[in-house]
Structures are given as C-alpha cells and as structure tokens.
Chains A and B, each alone.
Chain A
Amino acid sequence: MSVKTKQRTTFDVFTRIERGDDLIHIGTVEAETAELAKVYAAYTYDEEDWVEMCVVDRAQLDWVRKPKGLFAGKGA
C-alpha cells in the first residue's frame, strides 16, 4: 500500500523570539500550500512565544554562497 499525497513542498521556518532579536532558522515543515505550512509551523514550533514567525518555500531561497563541502566534487 502506498499513502499517496498531493505534491508537498519543503518550507523553511524562521522566527524571532523578541523584538530586537535575530531572525533564526528554527526548522522545516512540509506542506501542500503556504497556508498549511503556516499552520504546521505554528503547531510544531511552539516552544517559544515568538514575536515573529514566517515560512519560506525552500525553492524560493536564492543562495549567494553555501559552505564548501568537505568532499565537494568527490561524492560521498
């Protein structure tokens, strides 16, 4: 049996604990839509009373730089 689900997207979750704090990456959720991603994020990452929380579709992140892999090019 396979549990078929609609195509899900990975969203990165960012939060700020209090005004003036850094915005931090606290985790990820997977969801069919951004609206659902917001709900999942709010329920999953409820360890703080965040002043700010947002979700970003991972595909929308444009990387300027990434850590150079220790084995980059060599393959695992």
Chain B
Amino acid sequence: MENAALLKEKVQEGFMVEGMEDMNEEYLKALKQTLTIVGDTELLSVPPLLTVYDQAPTLNNKITALAIMQDEIGHAHIAYRLLKDLGEDTEELLYNREPNRWKNPYAFDFELSNWIELGVFNALFDRAGYTLLGDAGEHTSYGPWRRALVKVDKEELFHLRNGEIIMKSAVKDPELKKKVQEAVDWMFIMGLEFFGVADNLKSRSQQIEYKLKGRTNDELRQKWLSTAVPFCESIGIKVPAHYDEATEKFVIDVPFPCKFDAENKKWLTDQPDTWENVIKRFKSRGPQNQQFVERIQQGAKELEKLRNEAV
C-alpha cells in the first residue's frame, strides 16, 4: 500500500491528479464511484421535475423549469464524460443498467405532487447538490472534475434561487403557503439524508483521504442547514431544526434518521430508525425508480428499434 500512502499524502498537500498515471487503483475506484453517483443524481433529477412541469403557472416559469432540466442533463453529461475518459463504458451504464442499480438519491424516486413541490425541490435538493458539489469544486484533488464544476456551481445556484423565488411568492397566498409547508414537511428530512451516514458511524472515508471531497458528511449537512433553515424561517415556514447558540451548530429537532411512510410521503417522527435501515430503504428504492429510469432509457431503445427495422 505504498502507493496509497504516497498519493494520500500528496493530495493532502495540494497535489492535483490529472490523469490515470497519477492514480492507484483505489483512487480510481473511489473516483469512479463518486462520479457515478454524481452523474446519476444529475440525470435522475429530471424525471421528477418533468412530472409537474406542465403545471407551471406562467410561461416564464415553464421556460425556467426547462432551462433547469437542460442544465441537469448537461451536468450529467459532464460526469459521464469524465467517467468515459477514465475507461468506463457509459453507453452501457446509461442504457443497459437495471433501474435499481442507479445511484441517485432516494428522494428522486418520487413523483412530485404539484408545482410548489418543484419549487421546494429546487430550494432544498438543488441546495444539497450545490453544497456537495461546491465542496468538491473547492477541494477535489481530481483536476478535470474541479474545472468542470465551475459551470455546475454557477447553475446550481440559479436552480436553488429559482426554488426560493417560487416558495417566496407562494407563501403570500394562505392556501399555497399550506402547500409549501406540506412539501417542506417531507422534503426537508429527505434533504438531510442526501449527506449520508453520520460521521461517528463511519470508520474512514476514502473520499476524504484521497480528497475527492473536503468536508465530512456531518459538516456538509451543517452547511446545508446553515442556509436552508434561515431561508425557510424567513418566509414563515416551519422546519424541524434550529440553531443552537451554545454549540454554534444546527440541531435537528426530530429523531434523525427516522422511519418514512413512502406511500403517503410522511416522516414517522415517533419512530426513530438506524442508518443501517435507511441504507436498506435506499437500496429497496422508491416508488418511481423503475418508471423514471425507463423514461431515461426509452428514447435510445426506441431509436435502436427503428434502426433495426430500417435495415
């Protein structure tokens, strides 16, 4: 493991990895895993948005939603292009992979119920993406990825601002405000889960040792909370977290993690859960997993069929 120790030391000192000859096998594997999660997350953010985009209240809202989806596909493209340069068969990954093998967050396996949820999706989930990828953009040791994230960072900020605009304007109407609250009630804790297992349950992280990312799961969760909570409070929306002056940290006011009723999109905050069970829930996938992945693969498969018929 001489190579591993050398590479870890180097990247901690600021060495930028530019190509495969700078990597050991472990680094390459961790990098590919990370980029697969990122690419899948970007791409599978589109189908949930598509479920309500035709409910956009104005043409401008619709154009913005379309622009966001186009951005996400671009972000996915970047991640998969990087994977291909690392020797992955992305064609296979995209069009022949079973739905349950995709690595997008559990939160993206759900249909949205209304336009307001699209706003909350942008404000909370894109904020999670902005937090995670912002950290990678700042710290990652993989040069090609760090450079590619300049574009992503700019666009994610636009997405989360769009969500804030939708939420801000909705809360002016009491009926719509109720919908914002309902959306936040299930999506806020989903947002917390994006950052993964609590630090004290994780023995070591190759992602951090190889500096694919800079901050730990809990640090990133705190970072997300530090802007998500004040924003929601500023528009009179209640969230199950608050800032604790004494520890100078955000504290989650409900058992976290806790059980989730997927059918009704409701957190069972009287039923605390373990991260082990949460991972199991992630792996057993949410209700739209298959449909959403098929939606992504459908065009390529239809084109292939047409090509075969034409021959």
Contacts and interface: CB of A to CB of B under 8 A. Distances in A.
Interface string B299-311: 0110110010000
Contacts of A45: 74, 151
Nearest to B153: A47
B148 interface: yes
A65 interface: no
Interface residues of A, number: 25
A70 interface: yes
Interface stretch (B21-29, B115-123, B193-201): B21-29
Nearest to B17: A70
Interface in A9-30: 10, 25-30
B301 A1 contact: yes
Given A3-B300, A27-B78, A30-B81, A67 B18 contact: yes
Task: Please provide the 5 A-B residue pairs with the shortest distance between their CB atoms, ordered closest to farther.
Answer: A69-B21, A70-B22, A47-B151, A3-B95, A44-B74
B3 interface: yes
Nearest to B82: A28
Interface of A is mostly: loop
A67 B301 contact: no
B30 interface: no
Given A67-B22, A71-B3, A76-B28, A26 B151 contact: yes
Nearest to B74: A44
Interface string A31-43: 0000000000001
B295 interface: no
A3 B19 CA distance: 29
Contact of B22 (A2, A26, A29, A71): A71
A28 B304 CA distance: 25
A7 to B, nearest CB: 12
B276 interface: no
Contact of B7 (A1, A4, A67, A70): A70
A4 B81 CA distance: 18
Nearest to A5: B91
Contact of B21 (A5, A26, A71): A71
Contacts of B111: none
Contacts of A10: 84-85
B77 interface: yes
Contact of B304 (A4, A26, A30, A46): A4
B77 A44 contact: yes
Interface in B1-22: 3, 6-7, 10, 15, 17-22
A72 interface: yes
A68 to B, nearest CB: 8
B81 A69 contact: no
B155 interface: yes
